[in-house]
Amino acid sequence: MTNAKFAKLFDSVELHDGIKLQNRIVLAPMTHSSSNPDLSVSDAELSYYERRINKLGLAVTAVAHVMPGGIGFQNQFAAFGESNLPGLTQLASTLKKGGAKSVLQIFHAGIQGPRALVPEGDVVGPSAIELKDGSMSRELTHEEIESIVLDFGRATELAIRAGFDGVEIHGANGYLIQQFFSGWSNRREDKWGGSVEARLTFPLAVVDEVQRAAAAATKEPFIIGYRFSPEEPEEDGLTMDHTFALLKALGGKHLSYLHVSLMEYNSKPRRGGDLNRTRLEQIVEAATGTPVIGVGSIHTPEQAVEAIELGAAMVALGRELIVEPDWVQKVEAGQEADIALTLTAADQDRLVVPDNLWGMIIGLPGWFPVVEAETAE
């Protein structure tokens, strides 16, 4: 029986468009670099998702790129082309097996695209920017920008044909949509850059095109979410005040939900807003009624409830659902004391984690709570 103090995690949630989720718990979108070499969904990915989607309210995929030049990771599945429809269809079906609504996250990596993976090494962004390797990105032309906007619409149509319940526009983590909004990476002086309002032109054009494509492709209610990062470390980068401007603009778009990307769900701002209150609380207030997904180092049900009490309508679990695929069932059954918070190097098969993702888990110290396996006496 569910512990009373965690019962609110299992409340049903109504999104802005009337779509109902069976509870507040979300599978966070996590890159796993485990797709097939042809960028189609792999059997290993399907098995990985199937192991951890039971009884979730919402399941958001790892991000898929909307056109070849938008790739951001090795072995990342694609949201374009007829050849990718069968795999995406299997993925949508798998995510829905436990009652969750399935959402395909879509993006263009922009200047974060690895030159070795981007066709012809043509790394592009709003402006020519010096990259980490010392080379320069190429500034997109007006025509290319308009073409990429249409690619987001085509990816949405593909998601609908594949059977997804929605898409999440990935405007966070420094990828192309955020690059256009940021004064650090967008130094244009045409319609796509300049003032804060002008730098919102591309993000809002993507939202409009995704909504247009969805309305044209289905008469059923279709989830459209938007993920964003509230701040950037660069001097000319985003502050909380910029994010409030973004949320005000998105408020007029009647999105299904907003998804804030945070490292710590209860962190406080560095610049802008009220430095003494959490980002999440201030974002919920600025969202003016649009449901917000809170995320960031949520591992225990106590932390999940705290995020709800800060105003989040839903809480997303990323790393924790890898460490403990049965998190939802254990909390629902009142067995929260049995939730695993660590893993060992011997746990890959038990946790059904693809090889490439497991390599990152073990190979990146501090990313996951990896402990030594206990040995029998």
Domain positions in the chain are 4-338
Q: Which CATH number fits domain 4-338: 3.40.920.10, 3.20.20.70, 2.60.40.10, 2.30.30.240?
A: 3.20.20.70
CA-to-CA dists, residue 119 to 71, 115, 151, angstroms: 9, 8, 16
> Hey, what amino acid is at 8?
K
State the pLDDT at residue 189.
95
Q: What is the Cα–Cα distance from 138 to 65, expressed in whole angstroms?
A: 19
Cα angle 29, 365, 63 (rounded to 5 degrees) comes to: 15
State the pLDDT at residue 377.
44
Name the residue among 285, 280, 258, 284 with its Cα closest to residue 269: 280
The conformational region for residue 136 under phi > 0 = left, psi -120 to 50 = alpha, else beta, is beta
Burial pattern 146-162, b for ≥16 Cβ within 10 A else e, equals eebbebbbbbbbbbbeb
Catalytic residues: 175
Q: What is the Cα–Cα distance from 244 to 177, expressed in whole angstroms?
A: 16
Q: pLDDT tens digits for 293-316?
A: 999 999 999 999 999 999 999 999
Largest CA distance in the chain: 70
Give Cβ neighbours of residue 158 (< 8 Å, ≥ 6 apart).
79, 80, 84, 85, 88
Please state the pTM of the whole predicted model: 0.96
Q: What is the Cα–Cα distance from 177 to 300, expressed in whole angstroms?
A: 32
Q: What is the Cα–Cα distance from 322 to 324, expressed in whole angstroms?
A: 6
State the pLDDT at residue 132.
85
DSSP assignment, residue 9? G
State the pLDDT at residue 17.
77
Name the residue among 241, 245, 295 with its Cα closest to residue 267: 295
Name the residue among 295, 306, 301, 293 with its Cα closest to residue 324: 301
Q: What is the Cα–Cα distance from 240 to 270, expressed in whole angstroms?
A: 8
State the pLDDT at residue 374.
64
Q: Which residues of the chain have pLDDT under 70?
A: 374-377
State the pLDDT at residue 244.
97
pLDDT, mean over the chain = 95
State the pLDDT at residue 18.
86
- List beta partners, residue 223: 166
Token pair 């670099």: residue: 33
Residue 201 structure tokens: 């032109």
Q: pLDDT tens digits for 96-125?
A: 999 999 999 999 999 999 999 999 999 999
State the pLDDT at residue 376.
43
